Chain A
Amino acid sequence: MDAMGGNINLLLPVALPIAAGASVLLYPGFRRNRRHLLTAVLAALTAEGILVALALGTGGSLFLWQLTDAVVLIFHVDGVSCLFAALTAGVWLLVGIYSVSYMKQEQEEHCFFGFYLIVLGVLIGLDFSGNLITMYVFYELMTLASLPLVLHERTKEAVAAGLKYLFYSVAGAFLALFGIFLLLQICGSVPFTPGGVLAWLPDSGAVAAGTDAVSTKTVDKGLFLAAMFCILVGFGAKAGMFPLHGWLPTAHPVAPAPASAVLSGVITKSGVLAVLRVVYYVAGPDMLRGTWVQQAWILLTLLTVFMGSMLAYKEPVLKKRLAYSTVSQVSYVLFGLSMLQAQAFVGALAHIIFHSLIKNALFLCAGAIIVTAKKKRVAEMIGLGDQMPFLLICYTIVSLALIGIPPTSGFVSKWYLALGALASETGVWAWMGPAVLLVSALLTAGYLLPLTIQGFFPGTDLKRDETGEGGSPCPAAEKVSAWMLAPVFVLTAGALWFGCFPGFLLSMLEKIASGVL
């Protein structure tokens, strides 16, 4: 084991939340005193924000640990790490603030907050990973650490859902592991390189690390493609890509709202990150372009996009509806990646950010509605506009953003995705992709807007009932606390702001894209 070398700042944002989370879990003082617990959690989240900023600011890489010659753990910060780490830390802080108020009604808060912090540390580690091994280690850790968030309520369904989440994730990860072994065999534990390190050998049709590599092993083309497909499907499980999307609609409704929010908004994105790293930073987009793997990948993503929207449209329970919506929307991102084209790549990365903001806001809104109005089905949520106008306005704005109505952010990413798809030379998919995205947008309008419409325009019938009974339609309605409203507002503002002024973000993403494509 060598000593650690490099920028030690990279380790801090990984270690701090894990340590904080462990102490929250183990130190009994936090269990007894809620105020101390919350102070500690919020302090840790804020400190984490600063540390991440520091780490991203100083950049560089950190040599962590060498297990064997081939198994090396390193951290490295590049554009993609920046994007994901900043997003994760920001969202975690906001959702943490929200949880202060939300978790009041739940049991065993310290348990939730402890694992909440640990997952944050692991995710930051995943974002900073500098090679495949490191990424895989943190990927598995993330699955395990996030499991208690799903299990939190300890009911029968929660346990069943948690197990389903575990099985799907582990099955996916093992599927991917096969591909990772193969890649390691070809190129060893090379650090992530924009544009990939593999190349076709010109004569034999085999795959090797670089064209001039003489000593490295080569692998048959068919085997390589099969392995890539396994990786795509395997990591796709986390990203909710068909056929391993099944855990999302089961796990989300039973988890507490903040947990669903981060599961849907950030953790699904780590599946995307893994796919992105393998395709664009190890194998290289040129290795897949035009192969059957790309075709199959596009097909799967489009199928998922449509299927998720359609099922969301038919789903009566709000949180489950949002979960299906996530299935669909994360596949927008995967679709953008599968095009292997710069503009679509930019659109995909932008959609990661935007969807994360939007879906977090939506889940937080749903949580607030469920807690205050005590309703779970959309059809029952009538006339909320009078009770929680501010929340519902935020809900409406982020809904429009998810549909992709300008000038909100969803429109910008969709614009890039569709134009990238049209410019990519993928034959029939070039125009079919945008068409499917728009049909899905239509369905998105169909499943999100009814809540707004019922909320603000409950109809005169309801009012008559109200005056007859002399009570509001939701008798138990309380006021939504400011702890809940503030994060929702910030997320909504972000979704709107990035729609109006995406210039800075887009130029950053274009820089990343020009590196890999």
Chain B
Amino acid sequence: MIPGICGQGLSFQADGFRLIYLAIAVLMWGVSGVFSREYMAHYEKKGRYYLFFWATFLATAGVFLSADFYTTFIFFEIMSFTSYVWVAFDEKKESLRAAQTYLAVAVIGGMAMLMGLFLLYDLCHSLAFDQVAETAGEILSGAPVSCALGLPGRQLYVAGGLLLFGFGAKAGCFPLHIWLPKAHPVAPAPASALLSGILTKAGVFGVIVVSCRMFAADSSWGLGIVLLGLVTMFLGAFLALFSINLKRILACSSVSQIGFIMTGIGMSVLLRAAGEDGGLAVRGALLHMVNHSLFKLVLFLCAAAVFMNLHQLDLNDIQGFGRKKPFLMFCFLMGALGIGGMPLWSGYVSKTLLHESIVEYTNAVSAGGMASGIIRGVDSWGFWKGAEWIFLVSGGMTVAYMLKLFVALFVERHSVRQAEFDAMSAEYMKTSSKLALAAAAVLLPLLGMTAHKSMDLLADMGQAFFGQAGHRHTIAYFSLENLKGAGISIGIGVLLYLVAVRRPGTSGRRYTDRWLPWLDLENLLYRPLLQVVLPGIGGAVCCFLDRYLVSSVVAVFLSVSAVVCRAMDQMADFVIRTARRSTHSQIPWVADSVRCGRATDGSFSAFGKGISERKRKMSEKAACMKRQLQRNGRLVEESFSFGLMLFAIGLCLTLGYLLLVFVRQ
């Protein structure tokens, strides 16, 4: 706990899960760091890469060690921004575009998360995981808590949903998986390994906290997570199957594997909500996280080895590169078998656990008594059987696309450059890189073969973080039942490979991207929405407010007030003019005489037609009379003032005389 930093203070915690992930982070950064030395040798601006490489390491470690959402958020944002540099690193057009997508997802996700944190803090008055879990439990059990939205339950769901949005975006969960298939192929391969292997896990970390702590036993939440997981799992695998770019396949595979993990997390919530023990699902999800980190480390570094030499990633161009390179083949095979769920490799163990958890829940549902009452039909036996099959088919697709990669790289021959490829066999990788890669690759079968020791130990260490108590299942990983599940998956995989990829009938060895290029969620929906529609509408409204509203109000006000003022101005004048003409004329009786004249004129014109023209013009006469009178009046005035002047002069003389007399005396 470090108080005071960033206002609220940071708090860290180290428990089993966090230590496991810290160890994995150290391992992954170490291995990729060693590998980067060779990979990055030919690039400019290496300093920039390494700076952000290690900055991201620190931020990621911060996320995994955090003990409250505040700390998580701070390091999460730092991580998002520092890893941006990886994606944009080589400054090609598609890299910049991918980086834009990455940044947009990161910023939007971050803002959604922040809103979620605001609501959560308002609800719980703390963001420490334990405190939040406690309050959330109380709220879900109906305790009244004052909050901004009025209904604490609703606010909790909204907050959880927003947090899920933010963390899920980083994890690559549908429908925010869009950045993964774009960003991974363009980033430097060691960075892709980290993006896929551990940055996505930082998102999963958040999903775990939200799901297993806040909504620890909330069936509707669990169901939502499972549904998202299933869709993500299937969609990712489906995309991977159709892609022909090595790193893109691996990226889509990451999406799919994250789906597996999400399913596990959701199942654990569901199982707990149903009063069962969530142990299987928890351990499955946890181990699959660990496994997936390691798989992707190995696989992306193999891809790095390919890219380093050929600077190409299209399967048609790199076909046959791996021939006569047993070391590369060994490492790739370890990763492929692991992720494909082959017994004795580590992926088998985690997938079996996840599968078992679905089976357990299906059995519980069919046994009845699951009064979760969410959506009728969803909680039925049939639905969960379907979920199980989606799980198995996705597993099968995993096998199929890994098989596709393996065959393309190590079995088939390149039609033109095969000899050139073979000549590279001696020095396609430095020893240091080989050692690093081998160390990671050997871990996978090692873990898988000692499942009861090593993997159970990991699971025991980590499960407390998921809120799982110490109860330990002893699972016969290699029982017939479990081997059957893996067998079905692998069988489906081989079948899918033969049908969908090889396609008996097509003779050529070209791999074609059968995915429709326009069917891209990002280009179809997100970009138009964010770049055109929203700024268009918002911008238009704001422009109106900014430019036209004030100015038009002012213009209207000015013109209206101008008219009104002119009218008022004229009115006063009008009144005065009328008054001067009529009632306030300076010589009222003259005006009256004029009026009399007019009236006489009127009466003459009305009555007498025989009266002569001369007599008719009485008004003119009156006017003449008026002028005469005025002249006379002026004469009188003048004469009066003349008299006054004489009087004044006389007065002055008298006064002067008096003064003279006074002085003489």
Chain A residues in the interface with B (C-beta under 8 A): 242-246, 249, 303, 306-307, 310-311, 313-314, 400, 403-407, 411-412, 414-416, 418-419, 422-423, 430-431, 434-435, 438-439, 441-442, 445, 449, 453, 456-461, 463, 499-503, 506
Cα–Cα distance between A412 and B91 once the two chains are bound (Å) = 33
* B residues near A303, Cβ cutoff 8 Å: 545
Cα–Cα distance between A412 and B114 once the two chains are bound (Å) = 12
The reply to whether B539 and A314 form a contact with Cβ atoms under 8 Å apart is: yes
Question: What are 22 of the A-B contact pairs (CB < 8 Å)?
Answer: A243-B545, A243-B549, A303-B545, A307-B545, A310-B539, A310-B542, A311-B546, A314-B535, A404-B114, A405-B77, A411-B6, A412-B7, A418-B115, A434-B115, A435-B115, A438-B114, A439-B111, A445-B107, A457-B99, A459-B93, A501-B4, A506-B7
Q: Is B264 an interface residue (CB 8 A)?
A: no
* B residues near A453, Cβ cutoff 8 Å: 88, 96, 99-100, 103
Q: Which residue of B lies closest to A408 (CB)?
A: B6
B99 to chain A, nearest CB (A): 7
The reply to whether A431 and B148 form a contact with Cβ atoms under 8 Å apart is: yes
Cα–Cα distance between A141 and B284 once the two chains are bound (Å) = 71
Q: For chain B, residues 534 to 574, give those with C-beta under 8 angstroms from any C-beta of chain A.
A: 535, 538-539, 542-543, 545-546, 549-551, 553
Cα–Cα distance between A435 and B118 once the two chains are bound (Å) = 10
- Choose among B93, B96, B550 the residue that contacts A243 (Cβ–Cβ < 8 A): B550
With A407-B5, A407-B6: A306-B119 Cβ-Cβ less than 8 Å: no
Q: Is B149 an interface residue (CB 8 A)?
A: yes
Cα–Cα distance between A317 and B357 once the two chains are bound (Å) = 58
The reply to whether B118 and A500 form a contact with Cβ atoms under 8 Å apart is: no
Cα–Cα distance between A459 and B92 once the two chains are bound (Å) = 5
With A405-B77, A406-B73, A407-B6: A311-B542 Cβ-Cβ less than 8 Å: yes
Chain B residues in the interface with A (C-beta under 8 A): 4-8, 73-74, 77-78, 81, 88, 90-93, 96, 99-100, 103, 107-108, 110-112, 114-115, 118-119, 121-122, 147-149, 535, 538-539, 542-543, 545-546, 549-551, 553
Cα–Cα distance between A303 and B546 once the two chains are bound (Å) = 11
Cα–Cα distance between A19 and B198 once the two chains are bound (Å) = 63
Q: A243-B545, A243-B553, A310-B542 are in contact. List 18 more A-B contacts (CB 8 A).
A: A242-B545, A303-B545, A310-B539, A311-B543, A403-B107, A406-B6, A406-B73, A411-B6, A422-B148, A430-B149, A431-B119, A431-B148, A434-B115, A439-B111, A453-B100, A460-B92, A499-B6, A500-B6
* B residues near A243, Cβ cutoff 8 Å: 545, 549-550, 553
The reply to whether A313 and B545 form a contact with Cβ atoms under 8 Å apart is: no
Cα–Cα distance between A343 and B309 once the two chains are bound (Å) = 58
- Choose among B7, B81, B112, B122 the residue that contacts A405 (Cβ–Cβ < 8 A): B81
B550 to chain A, nearest CB (A): 5
Listed residue (B8, B81, B546, B550) with the most chain A CB atoms within 10 angstroms of its CB: B546
The reply to whether B542 and A306 form a contact with Cβ atoms under 8 Å apart is: yes
* A residues near B147, Cβ cutoff 8 Å: 422
Q: Which residue of B lies closest to A454 (CB)?
A: B96
Q: Which residue of B lies closest to A462 (CB)?
A: B91
With A412-B6, A442-B107, A445-B107: A431-B542 Cβ-Cβ less than 8 Å: no
* B residues near A456, Cβ cutoff 8 Å: 88
B48 to chain A, nearest CB (A): 8
Q: Which residue of B lies closest to A502 (CB)?
A: B7
Cα–Cα distance between A502 and B4 once the two chains are bound (Å) = 7
The reply to whether B88 and A457 form a contact with Cβ atoms under 8 Å apart is: yes
A7 to chain B, nearest CB (A): 34
With A313-B535, A457-B88: A418-B111 Cβ-Cβ less than 8 Å: no
Cα–Cα distance between A2 and B553 once the two chains are bound (Å) = 47
The reply to whether A416 and B121 form a contact with Cβ atoms under 8 Å apart is: no
The reply to whether A438 and B111 form a contact with Cβ atoms under 8 Å apart is: yes
With A457-B88, A457-B91: A406-B111 Cβ-Cβ less than 8 Å: no
- Choose among B78, B96, B115, B545 the residue that contacts A438 (Cβ–Cβ < 8 A): B115
- Choose among B110, B122, B545 the residue that contacts A422 (Cβ–Cβ < 8 A): B122
Cα–Cα distance between A460 and B100 once the two chains are bound (Å) = 16
Listed residue (B7, B92, B108, B147) with the most chain A CB atoms within 10 angstroms of its CB: B7
Q: Which residue of A lies closest to B114 (CB)?
A: A438
Cα–Cα distance between A407 and B91 once the two chains are bound (Å) = 27
The reply to whether A422 and B5 form a contact with Cβ atoms under 8 Å apart is: no
Listed residue (B90, B91, B99, B543) with the most chain A CB atoms within 10 angstroms of its CB: B91
Q: Which residue of B lies closest to A500 (CB)?
A: B5
Cα–Cα distance between A460 and B95 once the two chains are bound (Å) = 10
B130 to chain A, nearest CB (A): 20
Cα–Cα distance between A110 and B551 once the two chains are bound (Å) = 36
The reply to whether A459 and B96 form a contact with Cβ atoms under 8 Å apart is: yes
Cα–Cα distance between A416 and B70 once the two chains are bound (Å) = 13
* A residues near B549, Cβ cutoff 8 Å: 243
Listed residue (A245, A404, A457, A506) with the most chain B CB atoms within 10 angstroms of its CB: A457
The 5 nearest A-B residue pairs measured at CB: A406-B74, A422-B122, A430-B148, A422-B148, A307-B542
Cα–Cα distance between A249 and B547 once the two chains are bound (Å) = 11
B553 to chain A, nearest CB (A): 8
* A residues near B538, Cβ cutoff 8 Å: 306, 310
The reply to whether A419 and B122 form a contact with Cβ atoms under 8 Å apart is: yes
* A residues near B539, Cβ cutoff 8 Å: 310-311, 313-314
* B residues near A439, Cβ cutoff 8 Å: 111
Q: Which residue of B lies closest to A505 (CB)?
A: B7
B336 to chain A, nearest CB (A): 33
Cα–Cα distance between A499 and B10 once the two chains are bound (Å) = 13
* A residues near B73, Cβ cutoff 8 Å: 406
B9 to chain A, nearest CB (A): 9
With A313-B539, A407-B6: A246-B546 Cβ-Cβ less than 8 Å: yes
Cα–Cα distance between A453 and B110 once the two chains are bound (Å) = 19
Listed residue (B77, B118, B149) with the most chain A CB atoms within 10 angstroms of its CB: B118
Cα–Cα distance between A307 and B550 once the two chains are bound (Å) = 14
With A422-B122, A430-B148: A460-B6 Cβ-Cβ less than 8 Å: no
The reply to whether A246 and B550 form a contact with Cβ atoms under 8 Å apart is: yes
Listed residue (B81, B107, B149) with the most chain A CB atoms within 10 angstroms of its CB: B107
The reply to whether B96 and A423 form a contact with Cβ atoms under 8 Å apart is: no
Cα–Cα distance between A378 and B77 once the two chains are bound (Å) = 25
B573 to chain A, nearest CB (A): 29
The reply to whether A459 and B148 form a contact with Cβ atoms under 8 Å apart is: no
* B residues near A246, Cβ cutoff 8 Å: 546, 550-551
Cα–Cα distance between A445 and B106 once the two chains are bound (Å) = 11
Listed residue (A242, A243, A310, A459) with the most chain B CB atoms within 10 angstroms of its CB: A310
Cα–Cα distance between A453 and B85 once the two chains are bound (Å) = 10
The reply to whether A407 and B111 form a contact with Cβ atoms under 8 Å apart is: no
The reply to whether A407 and B122 form a contact with Cβ atoms under 8 Å apart is: no
Q: Which residue of A lies closest to B539 (CB)?
A: A314
* B residues near A411, Cβ cutoff 8 Å: 6, 74
Cα–Cα distance between A435 and B111 once the two chains are bound (Å) = 9
B311 to chain A, nearest CB (A): 14
The reply to whether A418 and B118 form a contact with Cβ atoms under 8 Å apart is: yes
* A residues near B551, Cβ cutoff 8 Å: 246
* A residues near B4, Cβ cutoff 8 Å: 501, 503
Cα–Cα distance between A448 and B539 once the two chains are bound (Å) = 17
The reply to whether A458 and B91 form a contact with Cβ atoms under 8 Å apart is: yes
The reply to whether A459 and B91 form a contact with Cβ atoms under 8 Å apart is: yes
With A246-B546, A310-B535, A503-B4: A405-B115 Cβ-Cβ less than 8 Å: no
Q: Which residue of A lies closest to B107 (CB)?
A: A445
Q: Which residue of B lies closest to A244 (CB)?
A: B550
Cα–Cα distance between A506 and B9 once the two chains are bound (Å) = 13
Cα–Cα distance between A418 and B539 once the two chains are bound (Å) = 25
B321 to chain A, nearest CB (A): 25
* B residues near A459, Cβ cutoff 8 Å: 91-93, 96
Q: Which residue of A lies closest to B112 (CB)?
A: A438
Cα–Cα distance between A306 and B535 once the two chains are bound (Å) = 11
* A residues near B88, Cβ cutoff 8 Å: 453, 456-457
B252 to chain A, nearest CB (A): 25
Cα–Cα distance between A311 and B122 once the two chains are bound (Å) = 31
B363 to chain A, nearest CB (A): 42
Cα–Cα distance between A125 and B660 once the two chains are bound (Å) = 69
Cα–Cα distance between A446 and B550 once the two chains are bound (Å) = 26
